[in-house]
Amino acid sequence: MFKKILLAYNGSREGKSALLACAEIAAFAHSETHLLAVAGMPSSMFLTEGFLPEELLEEEKKRAQEVL
């Protein structure tokens, strides 16, 4: 069926539903599964080119680790 699955996950309700469906498919098909965590950035962050506060980055990494 599926040998490899890549799922982009953003923490939304729809994302969680996709994550659960992906887990079922992967378990059934014995697929290699990769999860790509998508970080949400406030729109004001796009006003400053190339700048990302370290605190915000660490917060997003922590949220992604909780999903894993």
- What are the pLDDT digits (tens) for 3-52? 999 999 888 899 889 999 999 999 999 999 998 887 766 666 555 556 66
Sign of the CA dihedral with 12 first, then 17, 18, and 19 last: positive
Please give the pLDDT value at position 5: 95
Please give the pLDDT value at position 23: 93
22 HSE (CA, 13 A, CB side): 18
Q: Which two tokens stand for residue 29?
A: 């098909």
Q: Indicate the domain borders of the chain.
A: 4-67
Q: Which two tokens stand for residue 44?
A: 């004001």
Q: Which residue has the higher pLDDT, 1 or 34?
A: 34
- List, in order, residues 6 or more apart from 26 with CB less than 8 Å away: 2, 5, 33
Please give the pLDDT value at position 42: 64
3-state secondary structure of 5: strand
